[in-house]
Amino acid sequence: MIVLTPLKKFQFPIYAECITPEFFEGKTIAELAELSVYEGNKQKKLGDIFKIEQDPAETPNITINGDVSEVRRIGIRMKKGEIVINGNAGMHLGEKMSGGKITVNGDAGGWTGSDMKGGLIEIHGNGSDYLASPYRGSSTGMRGGLIVVDGSVGADSAINMHGGVIKIKGGAGQFLGFGMDDGTIYVKAQTGTRAGACMKGGKIILAGTIEEVLPTFTIDSIKPKVKVDENETATGPFYVFLGDRAEKGTGKIFVAKANNPQLNTYEKFL
Amino acid sequence: MTELLIKNGFVFDPINGINGEKMDIAIKNGKIVEKIHEHHGKTIDATGLTIMPGGVDIHTHVAGGEVNMGRIVRPEDHVKDVVAKTPLTRSGVGYSIPSTFVTGYRYSQMGYTTVMNPSMAPLEAKHTHEELNDIPLLDKATYPLIGDWWFVLEYLRKGDLEGCARHVAWMLETTKGYAIKIVNPGGLESWGFGRNVHSIDDEVPNFCITPREIIVGLAKVNKMLNLPHTIHLHTNNLGIPGNYATTLETMKALESVPSDGKPVGHITHLQFSSFGGDGWGNMCSAAEEISKYINAHSHMTFDMGQIIFTDTTTMTADGPFEYTLYQLSGHKWVNSDVETETSGGIIPFHYKKNNAVNATQWSIGLELALMITDPWKMFMTTDHPNGGPFFAYPKIVAWLISNKARMATLKKCHKKAQKKSLLTSINRELSLYELAIVTRAGQAKALGLKNKGHLGVGADADIAIYNINPETIDIARKYKTVRRAFGKAAYTIKDGKIVVKDGEVVQHADGRTMWVDVETTEKLQVDEEMKLKFRQYWTVEFDNYPVLDHYVKVKDPITVKASI
């Protein structure tokens, strides 16, 4: 196991694409210290930014102790292994990852799990905006894997999602699952408006509250429970909305009946 | 100005009939000369290298409103291809719609020195010229879209060809254009009302005129004005299965235009106009029918519009076609209504080998290029970025010169497309001489560029030197070597300056912007009626309309004398 500790409080964003288990594998401490990172627009070495130590424990492959909320692209393209961050993580954490596990014992920055294809990201604090959303303009977002957030996430999360599962134990901001095509999003607390706008497929399960469902969704039925993934089932009852009809979509939004009495006017359409 | 001597290379100069002879080329003041004193200037030892005139691209969307709109809607396209600055070159981005500077660098790195921007809405002429000014290392020109221009439609309806010619002459001067571009004639005007034309004899709403009359009329106007290039035509029904019939009709219609041995029309991106079948399910190649006609006639020239299997951006003034593409792909779509002039649309598109239609399109482009026997008629383009980005040209070079390369790609294509492809029955492999025709000499000739595309005395010293030794390698077998060589030119020389060496830009140079200045006996009088029309139907005041001379950074007007 490699242990990284920030040497200072970072003033500029650090781009550290090298912090992945694959990149670290088989390298000595001295070699790791030579890896290239960017601090602002200056090229630096990993050893200039972090104290690098070897720990005899086998897992996780990389542990980061301290606040790295200015360090971006940790775990980019990782395929295997495990990273544990004891502190806040920066933007683009686990971008394009296709396997392995990242645990954040703190908050994570924007675009966490962007373009993710597989693997697991666990955030024990809050997520931020653009969780699991792809680069701007891209029509394919998260395609697989699992993201679990203990806290809340910001706006525009899971845009254009094409697969995988996101579980949020707190709340979510506006435009959750915009344009999603497939996959599952499960939110336990309050969700902002316009959830599922332009969605074409997939399901959004809202166990908490939501002010309103977009008018381009139609109510389909009331279901007592809904499956989130192999290990978890959410119990309702839930209103099931179909849409986004403006996009001829067949996505489903499940909204908890008990927490959203303002939606019971829809029942007359059943 | 410096002198330069290129010694001992294998020269391929089809316009002057030179096929791989070992020769020296002397350059003085940016022009090719008979000889210079060897010790005066610099010498390039080109022993074992191939020398060709600088590449000419007859059709590539590199500047203008559409291109820029494409850039705006595709940030995800740029992020995967970021170009850092160097002490000499500017930073920028690719991929399918590169920024202006990167466009110049990448063309030059492949040995190209002249490019033609084929679609400029007159309303966006100033913008287009601003972008062209920013494209370094290349000479360029642009074709205004005139096929659906209201004034032209009105002149043609009245049958007033001379008036139309004078108007077109004024348009070329006003927009600093080089040739008459016609896109889906009549269709773009119809698109203003949500409609399209489906054959060359459909009537255009409100104008009582047919696409046939527009095409033939403008071809005649083109002749009257003695323009260096012919009309540059994007056919009706482009990209629709079964459209080859329309293409044949169009070519037959142009037979009626009097020709003095010279071509009277250029159909661009022919691949997109050669679909057989009657639906996407049974869409197939009509390369056989098209090439049979072309081989029997000589009144037209063509370019390929080859597709490359990659994620690219389609952009054309053919708004209705882009709408069709939007319905097929469901991708993000931009529709731009260019007032009374034309239309425009943009859709990102990913050509995939395992898609039967895309794979068939790939096959059609190559079938056409190989089945049209005369290389002076059919030129290499991708209709950048519609078929794929221009820096994929080396791939097309490999497919053209090597059956082995074609089979290697065909093997990976959709089974249905493989079965239908005619490529398995074509053994033709282009020689370096023919390659020089389809990538530079033929294009320069079709464009009427007297000083480009050849290495005779007096020509512009635009030269590409490639690391290929035709004596030692069999290009068809070693197609990968050729592909590499065409991707990174050993030297690119622009106006006598070495701008690229070993595939890297080593010197900055501004290219010239060419346009035609037509001298007619009687100039078009811009009368009050015309200005009133502008006031009524345009959002731009007439006085703000013309592209004035100071807009063009390096000016290169070409004066032609019209016969009216």
**Mean pLDDT of the residues in chain B:** 94
- The DSSP 8-state label assigned to residue A106 in this structure reads S
| Domain ranges within chain A, ordered by starting residue | 2-269
Percent of chain B with pLDDT over 90: 88
Whether A67 and A9 have beta carbons less than 8 Å apart is answered as yes
Residue B302: strand pairing partners:
B267, B378
- Are residues A135 and B73, on separate chains, in Cβ contact within 8 Å? no
Rg (CA), chain A: 20
Query: Structure tokens of B377?
Result: 């008629």
Cis upstream peptide for B118 (omega within 30°): no
Query: Structure tokens of A133?
Result: 């959303």
- Would you say the C-alpha torsion A132, A138, A139, A144 has a positive or negative sign? negative
Chain B residues lying within 8 Å of A136, measured CB to CB: 75-76
Q: Is B332 on the interface with A (CB under 8 A)?
A: yes
- Residue positions counted in chain A: 270
**Interval A165-180 mean pLDDT:** 96
- Are residues A139 and B331, on separate chains, in Cβ contact within 8 Å? yes
Residue B350: strand pairing partners:
B311
- Are residues B77 and A137, on separate chains, in Cβ contact within 8 Å? yes
Chain B residues lying within 8 Å of A137, measured CB to CB: 73-77, 332
Query: Structure tokens of A216?
Result: 């381009």
Q: Is B91 on the interface with A (CB under 8 A)?
A: no
**Interval B202-206 mean pLDDT:** 91
Question: What is the CA angle A178-A179-A185, rounded to 5?
Answer: 60
Strands B18-28 and A218-229: unpaired
Condensed to tens digits (0 to 9), the pLDDT of residues B545-562 reads: 899 999 999 999 999 999
**Interval B489-512 mean pLDDT:** 95
- Are residues A136 and B331, on separate chains, in Cβ contact within 8 Å? no
Of the partner residues B73, B79, B348, the one whose CB lies closest to the CB of residue A135: B79
Chain B residues lying within 8 Å of A139, measured CB to CB: 76, 331-332, 348
**Interval B155-169 mean pLDDT:** 94
Amino acid B350: pLDDT: 93
Instruction: For chain A, give the longest Cα–Cα distance.
Output: 70
Chain A residues lying within 8 Å of B75, measured CB to CB: 135-137
Element (H, E) at B349: strand B342-350
**Mean pLDDT of the residues in chain A:** 95
Condensed to tens digits (0 to 9), the pLDDT of residues A226-250 reads: 999 999 999 989 999 998 999 889 9
* Residue owning tokens 């035509």: B233
Cis upstream peptide for A237 (omega within 30°): yes
DSSP string computed for B22-59: EEEEEEETTEEES---TTTSEEEE-TT-EEEEPEEES-
Question: In which band, very low, low, confident or very high, does the pLDDT at A183 lie, cut at 50, 70 and 90?
Answer: very high
CA distance B112 to B384: 14
Amino acid B545: pLDDT: 87
CA distance B550 to B290: 44
Residue B258's φ and ψ, nearest 5 degrees, are: -60, 130
Whether B558 and B516 have beta carbons less than 8 Å apart is answered as yes
How far A6 CA sits from the closest chain B CA (Å)?
29
- Are residues A134 and B331, on separate chains, in Cβ contact within 8 Å? no
CA trace torsion B345, B347, B352, B357 (10° rounding): -40
Amino acid B169: pLDDT: 94
How far A111 CA sits from the closest chain B CA (Å)?
14
Residue A184 confidence (pLDDT) above 90: yes
Q: Is B74 on the interface with A (CB under 8 A)?
A: yes
Residue A184: strand pairing partners:
A165, A203
If you measure CA to CA, which chain B residue comes closest to A134?
B76
Cα–Cα distances in Å, from B411 out to A47, B279, B424, B428? 49, 25, 10, 18
- Would you say the C-alpha torsion B167, B171, B173, B174 has a positive or negative sign? positive
How far B317 CA sits from the closest chain A CA (Å)?
22
CA distance B316 to B313: 10
- Would you say the C-alpha torsion A201, A213, B329, B199 has a positive or negative sign? positive
Element (H, E) at B289: helix B287-296
If you measure CA to CA, which chain A residue comes closest to B70?
A137
Q: What is the ipTM of this complex?
A: 0.82
Residue B1 confidence (pLDDT) above 60: no
Residue B159: strand pairing partners:
none
Does residue B324 sit in helix, strand or coil? helix
CA distance B144 to B142: 7
CA distance B25 to B244: 44
DSSP string computed for B354-387: TSHHHHHHHHHHHHHHHHS--TTTEE---TTTTS
Residue B183's φ and ψ, nearest 5 degrees, are: -115, 125
Whether A233 and A188 have beta carbons less than 8 Å apart is answered as no
* Residue owning tokens 């060589």: B485
Question: In which band, very low, low, confident or very high, does the pLDDT at A225 lie, cut at 50, 70 and 90?
Answer: very high
Query: Structure tokens of A172?
Result: 């979510």
- Would you say the C-alpha torsion A25, A29, A31, A35 has a positive or negative sign? positive
Chain B residues lying within 8 Å of A141, measured CB to CB: none
- The DSSP 8-state label assigned to residue B203 in this structure reads P
Q: Is B473 on the interface with A (CB under 8 A)?
A: no
Of the partner residues A134, A135, A139, the one whose CB lies closest to the CB of residue B332: A139
- Are residues A137 and B76, on separate chains, in Cβ contact within 8 Å? yes
Cα–Cα distances in Å, from B357 out to A129, A140, B349, B454? 39, 22, 13, 38
* Residue owning tokens 């590199």: B62
**Interval A66-83 mean pLDDT:** 95
Question: What single-letter amino acid sits at B320?
Answer: P
- Burial (CB < 10 A; 0-12, 13-18, 19+), residue B250, is buried
How far A136 CA sits from the closest chain B CA (Å)?
6
If you measure CA to CA, which chain A residue comes closest to B329?
A139
Question: What single-letter amino acid sits at A160?
Answer: N
Percent of chain B with pLDDT over 70: 100
CA distance A73 to A126: 18
Residue A5: strand pairing partners:
A51
Interface of A with B (CB under 8 A): 134-139
> Among candidates A261, A256, A268, A131, which has minimal Cα distance to A206?
A256
* Residue owning tokens 């931020």: A128
B235 φ/ψ sector (left φ>0, alpha ψ -120 to 50, else beta): beta
CA distance B221 to B208: 19
DSSP string computed for B112-169: EEEEEEEEE-GGGHHHHHHHHHT-BT-EEEEEEB-TT-HHHHHHHHHT-HHHHHHHHH
Condensed to tens digits (0 to 9), the pLDDT of residues B229-241 reads: 999 999 999 999 9
DSSP string computed for A183-226: EEEEE-S-B-SSTTTT--S-EEEE-S-BS---TT-EEEEEEEEE
Question: In which band, very low, low, confident or very high, does the pLDDT at B151 lie, cut at 50, 70 and 90?
Answer: very high
B111 φ/ψ sector (left φ>0, alpha ψ -120 to 50, else beta): left
- Are residues A138 and B73, on separate chains, in Cβ contact within 8 Å? no
Of the partner residues B75, B331, B348, the one whose CB lies closest to the CB of residue A136: B75
Whether A164 and A146 have beta carbons less than 8 Å apart is answered as yes
Whether B166 and B564 have beta carbons less than 8 Å apart is answered as yes
CA distance B302 to B270: 6
- Domains within chain B, CATH numbers bracketed: 3-53+455-505 (2.30.40.10), 513-561 (no CATH)
Amino acid B540: pLDDT: 87
The answer for residues whose C-beta is within 8 angstroms of residue A173's C-beta and 6 or more apart is A129, A153, A154, A155, A156, A157, A192
Amino acid B528: pLDDT: 87
Whether B63 and B131 have beta carbons less than 8 Å apart is answered as yes
CA trace torsion B443, B449, B450, B451 (10° rounding): -90
Condensed to tens digits (0 to 9), the pLDDT of residues B41-59 reads: 789 999 999 999 999 999 9
Query: Structure tokens of B115?
Result: 């490019």
Of the partner residues B73, B76, B348, the one whose CB lies closest to the CB of residue A135: B76
Amino acid B526: pLDDT: 84
Condensed to tens digits (0 to 9), the pLDDT of residues B526-541 reads: 888 888 988 998 888 8
Whether B346 and B69 have beta carbons less than 8 Å apart is answered as yes
Question: In which band, very low, low, confident or very high, does the pLDDT at A102 lie, cut at 50, 70 and 90?
Answer: very high
Question: In which band, very low, low, confident or very high, does the pLDDT at B436 lie, cut at 50, 70 and 90?
Answer: very high
CA trace torsion B530, B534, B540, B544 (10° rounding): 10
Condensed to tens digits (0 to 9), the pLDDT of residues B441-470 reads: 999 999 999 999 999 999 999 999 999 999
Chain A residues lying within 8 Å of B331, measured CB to CB: 139
Interface contacts A/B by beta carbons within 8 Å? 17
Residue A210 CB coordination number (10 Å): 25
CA distance B458 to B33: 6
